[in-house]
Chain A
């Protein structure tokens, strides 16, 4: 006879109650997280939807952002965010991956154990401090390079890249470290050089981790506000196309919301347009995350034996 049967009905009832309680507590916690995200989105929609109803789309995506004259063209802000983010990605991703490869594959172990915690500490520097640094140190440097002002999209990209680097390096290095030693041995044993092993075996094997590293780093960059607000010059104009466009002042979507939210009349069109920008920002990050999880998902199904 099993112990459950010996325990008696009272004991059994108490145990079933305990199971019920735990299960539902966990469920509540899980559901409430989703609920909160949904509520945030609903609030955003409620406040921001007049933007898309009251402003003709052609005007909304035009190039003039002058809220005082009731001109709400968000194109300069979109372009500003895009420029700053693309610049940051171009700088941070190759640099971050290279550092991770160096740390994970080439650096002697003492150096790695010294550098890795140091890099992780860098992630903890408050963004406002970096913004300050960019304003005081970077901006004059860039102006000396010949730009009309030091507060440019490029300055913002540099600061953002620096903010994304610790995340990218740290998580990529973890991903490389997690690649089984057998892969390396297997590749070396059939005559691969060290670099061929890294390029053809280790990096592909670590791909999902690397994608996550880049996404988290870039995610941090896109949403960043204060540092960017300080160093990009805050001019809502569309830079002329060409190599020089990175060296002109811009204004990002996040910076616009942060800078104007304090002075706007609640319920006005300007107010809801700021929320409208929030919706667009939300959709952009959502799209990027979906693409990233698709990429990671494909990798996962390959592991399980899907077709290449």
Chain B
């Protein structure tokens, strides 16, 4: 099977000279849950933000190497960054509902993409909320403010907002960091459903969460990929001493 995203010899340096990624090579396949884990400052978020070129916002940063999405370089001149971000959609650690109602939040992206047909909008709203396991809780108050939702609901709303665009890849940067265990479980469960339709790349909240949700995983340390493999390999029989130390909780 062809990878949906392939990263080759990727280096990334911030404007202040911090080398955040060094020689990263990874392949991510369709319909898998790919987990990126490692201690803080390992470069996980940097890598995620490169995938949809949110890294463009970092003035003065530099990169080397390549990222190919569906066999096309995302750094290619003439690539439509806006379209890229619709196809590789991202959810952040802190839930970020946008000002407006629940429905507004879900239709923002679609309307900006030019979808005007009310029946399509309604249908996407319902489907994305169901996929994010939020529909039953909010179906009667779609037109109330998104700020009135609980923390867990807000995060699922943000996931639904990404899904409403029907992207190819959903990128989740520590989506359960602020959530209680029950909401965390709800989000984790929804991943099993989501990967039928989407490819999921996720930075987990903890090693344990990574082990629970991953099909394959990569361990990052100081901007380098230490080890990549299936979940059973990485979390049960790691090859590298550093991976083993981290997974068993000796540092991190």
A residues sitting closer than 8 Å to B (CB atoms) are 108-109, 180, 182-183, 185-193, 196, 200-201, 204-205, 302-308
- With A183-B96, A185-B96, A201-B99 as given contacts, are A190 and B162 in contact (CB-CB < 8 Å)? yes
- With A191-B112, A308-B101 as given contacts, are A185 and B54 in contact (CB-CB < 8 Å)? yes
Give the residue of B54, B90, B145 whose beta carbon is less than 8 angstroms from that of A307: B145
Contact with A along B137-162 (1 / 0, CB 8 A): 00000011101100000000010011
B92 at the interface (CB under 8 A from A): yes
- With A108-B59, A182-B92, A190-B161 as given contacts, are A204 and B112 in contact (CB-CB < 8 Å)? no
What residues on A are CB-neighbors of B99 within 8 Å?
A: 183, 201, 204-205, 302
A-B residue pairs in contact (CB < 8 Å), sample of 17: A183-B96, A183-B98, A185-B92, A186-B158, A188-B54, A189-B54, A190-B109, A191-B112, A193-B112, A196-B112, A200-B108, A205-B98, A303-B147, A305-B144, A305-B148, A306-B145, A308-B143
Complex contact A191–B98 (CB within 8 A): no
CA distance A189 to B158 in the complex (A): 11
Interface SS, B side: mixed
The interface stretch among B1-9, B17-25, B79-87, B201-209 is B79-87
B residues sitting closer than 8 Å to A (CB atoms) are 52, 54, 57, 59, 82-83, 85-86, 89-92, 94, 96-101, 104, 108-109, 112-113, 143-145, 147-148, 158, 161-162, 165
What residues on B are CB-neighbors of A304 within 8 Å?
A: 147
Q: How far is the CB of A197 from chain B (nearest CB, A)?
A: 9
What residues on A are CB-neighbors of B83 within 8 Å?
A: 191
Q: How far is the CB of B177 from chain A (nearest CB, A)?
A: 13
User: Who on chain B is nearest to A203 by CB?
Assistant: B99
What residues on A are CB-neighbors of B100 within 8 Å?
A: 204, 308
Interface SS, A side: helix
What residues on B are CB-neighbors of A303 within 8 Å?
A: 147
Give the residue of B94, B145, B147 whose beta carbon is less than 8 angstroms from that of A182: B94
Give the residue of A182, A191, A307 whose beta carbon is less than 8 angstroms from that of B144: A307
- With A200-B112, A308-B100 as given contacts, are A189 and B143 in contact (CB-CB < 8 Å)? no
User: Who on chain B is nearest to A200 by CB?
Assistant: B108
Complex contact A189–B145 (CB within 8 A): no
Give the residue of A108, A189, A193, A306 whose beta carbon is less than 8 angstroms from that of B92: A189
Complex contact A308–B144 (CB within 8 A): yes
User: Who on chain A is nearest to B164 by CB?
Assistant: A190
What residues on A are CB-neighbors of B85 within 8 Å?
A: 188-191
What residues on B are CB-neighbors of A192 within 8 Å?
A: 82, 108-109, 112
CA distance A15 to B145 in the complex (A): 47
